[in-house]
Amino acid sequence: MSAETTRHGEREVRALVITGFGLNCERETARAFELAGARAEQVHLNDILAGLRRLDEFHILALIGGFSFGDHLGAGAVFANRLRARLRSQLEEFIGSGRLIIGICNGFQTLARLGLVPALDGRLFEPQVALALNERGVFRDAWVTVRAEKNCPCVFTRGVDVLSLPIRHGEGRFVARDRRTLERVEEEGLAALRYVDPQTGEPAQEFPHNPNGSWNAIAGVCDPTGRVFGMMPHPEAYLAPWNHPLWTRQRAEGALPAEGGGLAIFRNAVAFAREHLL
């Protein structure tokens, strides 16, 4: 039986959720892909490094939230170094074959340190942006409002407008290595998500709507193909309507959604993979 087929002979989208070493959002992330129609597997990093599993068995790779390797040397630093040293060629092949990668929170920090986003001029493994310490110097656990930018090629945010999502991080302030890099991210439409004022819908630079002081209120970026995407908020933490802290009010007002807003991110990925990668 093909690795891409079910017992009924139907081809299926396969998503890899890497686990281990302080990562802690594997179940929610796997469930998100399953709800979106994919087959999700949680695989320990050591099994991949040992060659027991390969990235090319999958269509979508998820680098999840948590505190990989205790965030020693900086959030995502050790994890990124492991991937660069041991899986560089597999990552290059994975991206080159048109497959999808999403990095959420710690995963975004890892993607940035690897240089897989924004990858201007196609320069992989050359870090161009970073997620620095929150401007206020404290860990922030709250819900924020983000807006998906319409001029962005990001596969994961297609058709998405405004989302309410939780954040929980101490190093989430999006910065670029210089102002010209930031300008190019904007010029090339790679800023996929921005923190916005929930009342006006406009980008927010002030706390608490911008929870970490990110430049240009950027909450997520993609590479020029739109297939590699990193975001600080946690879409996997808002899969059901009652995940939202105001769900009882929404129900009373007749505004309770059928599903959590974060699920749209995963539905987009699975739909793209089903159309283009099967």
pLDDT tens digits, 27-57: 999 999 999 999 999 999 999 999 999 999 9
Model confidence at 9, pLDDT cuts 50, 70, 90, reads very low
Nearest to 87 by CA among 125, 42, 43, 59: 125
String of b and e for 244-260 (b: at least 16 CB within 10 Å)?
beebeeeeeeeeeeeeb
The tally of domains found in the chain comes to 1
| 3 falls within a domain | no
Mean pLDDT of the chain: 96
CB atoms near residue 201 (< 10 Å): 13
Q: How much is the pLDDT for 8?
A: 44
| 9 falls within a domain | no
| 1 falls within a domain | no
Distance CA 163, CA 174 (A): 19
Catalytic pick among 12, 26, 28, 105: 105
Quick: pLDDT tens for 75-111. 999 999 999 999 999 999 999 999 999 999 999 999 9
Quick: pLDDT tens for 183-195. 999 999 999 999 9
- Helix (H), strand (E) counts: the chain: 7, 11
| 7 falls within a domain | no
What number is the average pLDDT over the span 198-222? 98
CA angle centred on 112, ends 106 and 114, rounded to 5°: 105
Percent of the chain scored above 70 by pLDDT?
96
The upper half-sphere exposure of residue 143, i.e. CA atoms within 13 Å in the direction of its Cβ, equals 13
Catalytic pick among 59, 169, 209, 234: 234
Catalytic pick among 26, 59, 236, 244: 236
Model confidence at 4, pLDDT cuts 50, 70, 90, reads low
CATH of the domain at 108: 3.40.50.880
| 152 falls within a domain | yes
Q: Would you say how long the chain is, in residues?
A: 278
Amino acid at 3: A
**Where does 115-237 have alpha helices with state H?**
179-187
| 4 falls within a domain | no
Distance CA 276, CA 65 (A): 27
| 154 falls within a domain | yes
Q: Note if 126 is an active site residue.
A: no
The parent domain of residue 192 ranges over: 14-276
Q: How much is the pLDDT for 5?
A: 53
Q: Note if 234 is an active site residue.
A: yes
| 267 falls within a domain | yes
Tokens at 241, concatenated:
């309507």
